[in-house]
Structure 1
Amino acid sequence: MIRVGLTGGMGAGKSTVAKSFADRGAYLIDADKIAREVVAAGTPGLARLVDAFGDDILGADGELDRPALAAKAFADDDSRATLNAITHPLIGTRTNELLEAAPDDAIVVQDIPLLVENHTAPFFHHVVVVNADEELRVHRLVNSRGLDEADARARIAAQATEEQRRAVADSWLDNSGTADELAAKAVDLWSQRLVPYEVNVRTGVVAEPLPELAADDPNPAALGARLTNRLWAIVGDKATAVAVSADDPLTLTVTARDAEAVAALPELLAAGGFPADGKDGYGSADPGRPARVVVDIR
């Protein structure tokens, strides 16, 4: 199983990519859907919101009146913190339940609008960013979703920048064309990279690098930092340091905390996308991201 983080700014076309992946068998977890589900009518989550913000956040049908909640919850930092303290644990618990139910051979696609803003990119095997020019996104939001132009621009400005998204992206899908063109790009990514990646992780095989995929890296200069952060997410407290130690091929050294950690690292690295390479090291299972990991102990 691999976990794929899917994100992009408002109006970028993320839903088109999510549907393309789901149509091909992705195990889709939609963060926005979960956020609505945990505060639906009759849930403990909605009851806690009412206790915190008052029953005037309810509509006539008993469902959450989101604009009414937003008017109160985003009035100040304390109110926003109260909202997050109620909803985030509920969303996390439901997400973990869905992850635990995923098949062993799943490509889990987690559709998370605020993946970059929440700093969760390192916890995914692969991060896909869908992007489009800001003016095109504003046009789509105004003409397709009926947003006021000033509101659309304000919402876009409140999200991560293109530079911030490029810093964490493993794949970058440009959506300056039609929805069909974007869907075709998503299908190519699915078949050429994500499917082989999942098979390699599940079977413990180091990928044969495909230069044409590696050449499409959205930000080659950030690859070392991306993999360093990814490895920290994988090894956690089993390491005291993770650092780039060579460039060709890109090699990272994980300094293990102790002998017990050394024994635990092979399983953690394999599950995280770096199976043993048979040469006293570990290699990337991603055919578009050649890299090697070595373990040191001091």
Structure 2
Amino acid sequence: MIRLTGRVLMVGLTGGIGSGKSAVASRLAERGAVIVDSDRIAREVVAPDTEGLAEIVAAFSERVLDAEGALDRAALGDVVFGDDTARRRLEAITHPRVRARSAELVAAAPADAVVVNDVPLLVEVGLAPTFHLVVVVQTEVATRVQRLARHRGMSRAEAERRIAAQADDARRQAVADVVLHNDGTLDDLHAAVDALWQDRLLPYERNVRQRRAVRPERVVLTEPDPTWPQQYARLAARIRHAAAPADPRVDHIGSTAVPGLAAKDVIDIQLTVDSLEEADGPLAERLARAGFPRLPGEWWDNPRPAGDGRWEKRLHGSADPARPAYLHLRVAGSPGWRYALLMRDHLRADPDQRAAYLMVKRELAAAAPDNGAYGTAKDPWFDEEHLRAEEWAARTGWRP
């Protein structure tokens, strides 16, 4: 596993066998990306006269060698396919070597590089949170079977067996920030890759390098998006990876966490810390490297109900130009921390208040379309809602 360094943008590229992933990698290389090809590295680390090959022979005997003494990948596949113990034994030999060589290539990349890690089993081995962005190439199974027969000489049965052994489309989509559909022409695929490169990868790399978060200036309400929870889950996984080995509490908060509620298309996330000193320490830099730089200035929440003072917090944002997000670092058990969870849960539980809040949001978005005025204008409604929410919490026994 490669920990994000903040030197380069790390993109994970994956797709099922026969999906056209290699064509995407080639096009990204033409655009200027540094490609780290896991399959190629996997062959390098078990080439003749390597320690990797020697260990494989020791584990599985010389029956996995061809007449020239090189690894016979088909013979090895016959040994490990369908045998979990043998597969894990092989992975214990190859995976550490592949990771080490991949890390060397990443370390050698230019400081402003977009590094694309071509990883066929990215989903299967749980690597998605280690990247700033995951791109999945998706193609209909029938098309993939035809390609495998035409380009690799596989029988239909063998192609279907290989496809079935990998993660299915649903599992890949769950980790995908970008899905490139490859059922059309090569020109269609190139156009999609070029747009991704120009509109998302280049500005994302620049934002990560310059520690700059994306901040929408105007309030635009969008209709409820059923994928908001999935998008949150991908962001939260990256945040947890950045915070490792600690395992902090991470919560989806704000309007996008309330099903059926129109909202600004910005994911709000709460990261629980033990103190603001912790938030100001190495954690802040690790989050920035992972694509969540800290927003400059002082940040706080207005007390509820309104009064003197303020509830301090730290605020980070997303560097991804296509996925704005705010990451609120609040101290466990603090009033602001508790309030964010209470408001979310009360609105989830009370459809009448959810409808009332939506009406307020629509009116204010039309009257006060900039973020600052919009947030301030909601204060009176939240002061009243706070009292209703506290009554609900007492009545139901709610706890954060």
Q: TM-score under structure 1 normalisation?
A: 0.93
Per the alignment, in what secondary structure is the counterpart of residue 115 of structure 2? strand
> Would the aligned equivalents of 2:145 and 2:160 in 1 still touch at CA under 8 Å?
yes
| 1:264 corresponds to 2:282 | yes
Residues of 1 paired with 2:136 and 2:126: CA distance? 14
Mean alpha-carbon deviation: is it higher for 85-94 or for 233-242? 233-242
* Cα shift readout 1:81-134 (whole Å, capped 9, x = no counterpart): 221111111112111222222222111100001111111101110000111111
Contact 1:141–1:147 (Cα < 8 Å) also in 2: yes
Structure 1 residue aligned with 2:315: 281
Between 1:4-13 and 1:251-260, the stretch displaced more is 251-260
The 3 A distance-change label for structure 1 pair 148 and 218 is farther
Structure 1 window deviating more from structure 2 (166-175 vs 73-82): it is 73-82
Match of 2:26 in 1: 19
CA distance in structure 2 between the partners assigned to 1:209 and 1:288 by the alignment: 11
Q: Secondary structure at the match of 1:10?
A: coil
Structural mapping, 1:45-60, within 5 Å: 45-60=52-67
Matched, 1:10 2:17: yes
**8 Å contact 1:284–1:291 — kept in the other structure?**
yes
Whole-Å separation in 1 of the counterparts to 2:84 and 2:212: 48
2:268 corresponds in structure 1 to 251
Q: Which amino acid aligns with 2:285?
A: E
Aligned to 1:41: 48
Letter in 2 for 1:94: R
**Structure 1 residue 296, shift from structure 2 partner:** 1.4
Name which of 99, 104, 108 aligns with 1:92. 99
In the alignment, does 2:242 pair up with 1:222? no
What CA distance in whole angstroms lies between the structure 1 residues aligned with 2:163 and 2:278? 43
Please report how far the alpha carbon of residue 78 of structure 1 lies from its aligned counterpart in structure 2 after TM superposition.
2.5
Q: Is the 8 A contact 2:48 2:71 kept in 1?
A: yes
Q: What is the deviation of 1:291?
A: 0.6
Choose which of 149, 160, 163 in structure 1 pairs with 2:156.
149
Moved more, 9-18 or 229-238: 229-238
Secondary structure of the structure 2 residue equivalent to 1:240: coil
Could you tell me which residue of structure 2 aligns to residue 202 of structure 1? 209
Structure 1 unmatched ranges of 5 or more: none
- For 1:172, the equivalent position in structure 2 comes to 179
Identify which of 236, 248, 261 aligns with 1:240. Answer: 248
The structure with the larger Rg is 2
Equivalent residue for 2:325? 291
State the SS of the aligned residue for 1:160: coil
Task: Kindly indicate whether structure 1 or structure 2 has the higher relative contact order, using CA contacts under 8 Å at least 6 residues apart.
Answer: 1
**Aligned-partner residue type, residue 7 of structure 1:** T
CA contact (8 A) 2:13 2:135 kept: yes
* Aligned mates of 1:45, 1:190 — CA distance in 2: 36
Q: Deviations over 1:180-231 (max 9, x none)?
A: 21011101100100000000000011125599xx99x994441111111111
- 1:101 and 2:108 correspond: yes
Give SS of 2:249's match. strand
- The alpha carbon displacement at 1:261 in A equals 3.0
| Residue pair 1:251, 1:294 contacting (<8 A) in 2 also | yes
Structure 1 residues 239 and 118, CA gap change in structure 2 (3 angstroms) = closer
Displacement, 1:176? 1.1
Within 1, Cα distance between the matches of 2:237 and 2:23? 29
Cα distance between partner residues in 2 of 1:98 and 1:90: 13
Matched, 1:163 2:177: no
SS at structure 1 position matched to 2:166: coil
Task: Figure out how many residues of one structure are paired with residues of the other and give that number.
Answer: 295
Q: Is the 8 A contact 1:58 1:65 kept in 2?
A: yes
Are the counterparts in 2 of residues 209 and 288 from structure 1 also a CA contact under 8 Å?
no
Per the TM alignment, residue 277 of structure 1 is displaced from its structure 2 partner at its CA by: 2.0
From the superposition, tell whether residues 218 and 112 of structure 1 become closer, same or farther in structure 2 (CA, over 3 Å).
farther
Per the alignment, in what secondary structure is the counterpart of residue 281 of structure 1?
Answer: strand
For the residue of structure 1 that corresponds to 2:269, the secondary structure is strand
